[in-house]
Amino acid sequence: MANIRDVAKQAEVSVTTVSRVLNQHPYVTEEKRVAVERAMEELGYFQNINAIHLSTGETRLIGVVIPYINHSYFSTLLKGIADQALVQGYNLVFYQTNYMKEEEHKAFEALKQKQVDALLILSRASEWEAIESYQSFGSIVVCETASHETIPCVSVDHYEAFRFGMRYMVDQGHQKIGYCIGRRNGTNSKLREKAYCEELERIGQPFREEWIFNGCLTIEDGKRVVSEYAALNEKPSALLITSDQVAAGFMMEAQKQQIQIPNNVAILGFDNHPIAEALDLTTIHLPLHEVGVNLVEKVVKKDKTSTIYPFELVERGSV
Amino acid sequence: MANIRDVAKQAEVSVTTVSRVLNQHPYVTEEKRVAVERAMEELGYFQNINAIHLSTGETRLIGVVIPYINHSYFSTLLKGIADQALVQGYNLVFYQTNYMKEEEHKAFEALKQKQVDALLILSRASEWEAIESYQSFGSIVVCETASHETIPCVSVDHYEAFRFGMRYMVDQGHQKIGYCIGRRNGTNSKLREKAYCEELERIGQPFREEWIFNGCLTIEDGKRVVSEYAALNEKPSALLITSDQVAAGFMMEAQKQQIQIPNNVAILGFDNHPIAEALDLTTIHLPLHEVGVNLVEKVVKKDKTSTIYPFELVERGSV
DNA sequence: TTGTAAGCGTTATCAT
DNA sequence: ATGATAACGCTTACAA
C-alpha cells in the first residue's frame, strides 16, 4: 500500500509534484512526469479515494432515497438516474426506506456527514421541514409534483395527469369512476384525490369511499382489487389505476373471472410500461426515464428550479 | 463545521475522550460524557464520515455490479441485497455496467481505492482472472452457478434448473423443444446450453439453431419471439423461457395472434415472478431474494464458500 | 479514566 | 516549474 509520499521518494520529487501528475496539472516537466509514472508503476501505487474525499470535501456520490428498489415505477426512474449519473461521472448510493422516516433520516445524515454530495428523493415520508433543514449540507432534489418554495422538484404533473384521465373517462361516457392508488397519504396521491373529487363534483357524482382502492403497488394488488371490485354492490364502470403493473394484475385476473374489459369495466393505467402495450391497456404515458435524467442534471448543476414533465394519453383497447 | 477538536476544547477534554463518547467506548465518566454531549449540541457538531473512512480504512459500503438496474431478475436480487444490507448496516453503491468491461473495471478500481469495502457481482463480462486480481483489495462474491476455485459464488443452479425444465417438457410428451435466453454468451447461459444439448442428445433430437432465441430480456423481447416463432417452418412444440417477463410477453402476444398455450406451444418460465401467477404460467421458482440476502451475508462475513440454492417447479397452465 | 501525539493519504497554499 | 508544509477530521497506540 504505497502512498503518495513513497512515490515522491522513489521518484525523487516532492509529493506536490506527484499530486500534480496525478491530477494532470500543467507545470510539470516531461522528465519528472515520466519519473513519477515509473515510480507509481514500480510501487504498484494507487490513490486512496477516501483521503481525496477528506481533502477535497467531495465524493462524487449522489444519494438516492427510494422506498422500494424493485418497484417498476421507481426502477424506471432509477434507470434514467443511473444512465445520467454515468454520463456525469457520479456514482449512486441507495437508501431503501420502505417509507420509514428513520431510514430517510439516515440518508439526510449521510449528506450532512459528506458521505454523498447530493440527494435525490424519489418519494418520501418526511416533512418538507426536515428536508429543508438539510439543504445547507448539499443539493437536494425531490421527485414530486408539488412545487416547494426552496426545494427543487422534478416530476410529472400527477394532478393534471389524473384529472386528464378522469375527463377522458367522462368523455367516453363514464360517470361512475373509481381508482386505485399506491399510498393514499402520499403527496402525489393527495393531489390525485383532489383532482378526483373536483371532477366528481363537476359531473355531479357523489364521492364513494369504497371506490377508492388503496395500497395498490404490484401485480398482486391488481388481482386483489378484482375480488374487491367483484364484491361491490354498486360497481364503477371505469377505473383509473395509477400504475400499469397494478392495472395489468387487474386485467389478467379479470380475464380469469370473466369480467370483460372494457365492457364490464374500463381501465386506464399510468406509466406506459411495456406490459401495457402487451395487454392492450390504454394508459397515460409518463416520461419517467427523462424525469430521472433531469433529476441528476439538476442536482449536479445545483439548479434550484423545478420542472414538470408532460404526460401523454396512449389509447389502446381497455377503455 | 465544528470538528472534534473544537468539541474537545469546548468541553474541556481531549479529542480522545470526544472520540470515545462518539464511539460509545467504555472508560469515560458520566460527567465528561455529559460535558462532551453538551459541547456537541452547542456547536452543532457532526462527524465527517470521510475522515472516519480514511482513518479506519473502512466505509461500510458494498459495491454492486449490475448490468441493468431495472431488469426484473436483477431487481429481485437487488431487493434481497438491499434488505440484508439494511440489516447489516451497510449501504450500497451501484455500478450499472450494461455488460461493459470498462464499467465493471470502474467498480473493481473502486474496491481497490477503498471506496467500497466489498463487491457483489450480479453478472459480468469480465474474465475470472480480472476479478481474481482484485480479491486482495476486498471481499468479492459473484452471483453465478459456476463455482470458481477461489472466488465465492452464490446462485441458483441454472444448469440443473434448465435440465430439470427440459426433462419436465419431455415427460409431458414434448420432443421438439426450443428456448429463449438473455445473453447467449453469459456463463449461466452456456451452462444452460450445455444442459439443452445433453437433453436433446438423450432423447435423440437434433440441435436446431433456429430454435434458440437470443437477446431475450424484456416483455417486448417476448413479443418479438412470437413473430419469430410464427415465421418458423418447423416449429417447436415447447419453449423454455429463462425469464418470466419474456415468457409473459410471449404469452400475451401469442394470445393476440391466436396461438394457443399450451395447445400450440407449451411454455415454461423461470423466476416465478408475480406475473407468472397472474398469467397462469408454469415456471421454475428461483429463490432470488434469498440469493440476494446470502450474497450480502457472505460478502460481509468474508465467507469464501460457495452456495447453490434449490429451485422448484410451479405447475400452472402453460405446459 | 484521561490525554498526547502519531498516523491515515490526499490537496492546496505559499514560497522560491 | 518545484517543493515545504499545513490543513482535512478522525482513530488509536502508548503513556500517565
How near does any CA of chain A get to the CA of B12, in Å?
Answer: 24
pLDDT digits (tens, 9 = 90+) for B32-47: 899 999 999 999 999 9
Contact status, residue B128 vs residue B151, Cβ threshold 8 Å: yes
Confidence of residue B70 (pLDDT cuts 50, 70, 90): confident
Task: Determine the average pLDDT of the residues in B93-117.
Answer: 95
CA distances from B260 to B20, B133, B213, B247, B251 (A): 70, 51, 19, 14, 9
Task: Kindly report the nearest CA distance between residue A132 and chain B, in angstroms.
Answer: 17
Cβ–Cβ below 8 Å for B49 and A115: yes
Question: What is the residue-averaged pLDDT of chain B?
Answer: 95
Q: Pick from B192, B196, B187, B147: which is nearest to B169 by CA?
A: B196
What are the chain A neighbours of B93 within 8 Å (beta carbons)? Answer: 61, 91-94
Supply the pLDDT for residue B300: 94
> Region B302-309: what's the mean pLDDT?
94
Q: How does residue B178 score in pLDDT terms, banded at 50, 70 and 90?
A: very high
Write the pLDDT tens digit of every residue in B186-198: 889 999 999 999 9
Residue B147 has pLDDT above 90, yes or no: no
pLDDT band of residue A60 (cuts 50, 70, 90) is: very high
Q: Give pLDDT tens digits for A209-263.
A: 999 999 999 999 999 999 999 999 999 999 999 999 999 999 999 999 999 999 9
B146 CB contact with strand D at below 7 Å: no
* A95: chain B residues, CB-CB within 8 Å: 91
Report, as an integer, the average pLDDT of A261-287: 97
Task: Examine the pLDDT at A1 and tell me if it is beyond 80.
Answer: no
Indicate yes or no: strand C within 7 A of the C-beta of A15.
yes
Residues A300-317 have pLDDT tens digits of 999 999 999 999 999 999
Q: Strand order of the sheet with strand A139-142?
A: A139-142, A118-121, A61-66, A91-96, B91-96, B61-66, B118-121, B139-142
Does A88 have pLDDT greater than 80? yes
The answer to whether A60 CB is within 7 Å of strand C is: no
Res. A28: pLDDT tops 90: no
Cell numbers linked to A309: 414533465
- According to the model, what pLDDT value does residue A151 have? 96
Q: Provide, as residue numbers in chain A, all residues whose Cβ is less than 8 Å from the Cβ of B271.
A: none
> What pLDDT is attached to residue B146?
75
Task: Give the neighbor-by-neighbor strand order of the sheet with A212-213.
Answer: A212-213, A177-180, A238-241, A266-271, A283-285, A312-314
Q: Can you tell me the distance from the alpha carbon of A3 to that of A316, in angstroms, rounded to the nearest whole number?
A: 63
Q: What residue of A is the nearest CA neighbor of B72?
A: A70
Record: contact B94-A82, CB cut-off 8 A: yes
In this complex, the answer to whether residue B26 has its CB under 7 A from any atom of chain C, a nucleic strand, is yes
Q: What was the pLDDT predicted at A106?
A: 94
Residue B114 binned pLDDT confidence (cut-offs 50, 70, 90): very high
Q: Is B131 on the interface with A (CB under 8 A)?
A: no
Q: Give me the pLDDT at residue A146, please.
A: 75
| Residue A153 per-residue DSSP state | B
| Separation in Å, CA A148 to CA A126, A154, A304, B108, B247 | 14, 11, 11, 40, 44
What pTM was estimated for this model as a whole? 0.93
Does the structure show a pLDDT above 80 at B163?
A: yes
Residue B68 CB contacts under 8 Å (≥ 6 apart), including other chains: A79, B74, B96, B98, B217
Interchain pair A110, B49: CB under 8 A = yes
Residue type, B312: E
Binned at pLDDT 50, 70 and 90, residue A148 comes out as confident
Percent of chain A topping pLDDT 90: 92
Q: What is the pLDDT of residue A27?
A: 83
What integer pLDDT is reported at residue A147 of this predicted model?
75
pLDDT of residue B27: 85
Q: How many CB pairs under 8 A join A and B?
A: 127
A48 inside 8 A of chain B by CB? yes
Task: Say yes or no to pLDDT of A273 above 80.
Answer: yes
**Average pLDDT value over all residues in chain A:** 95
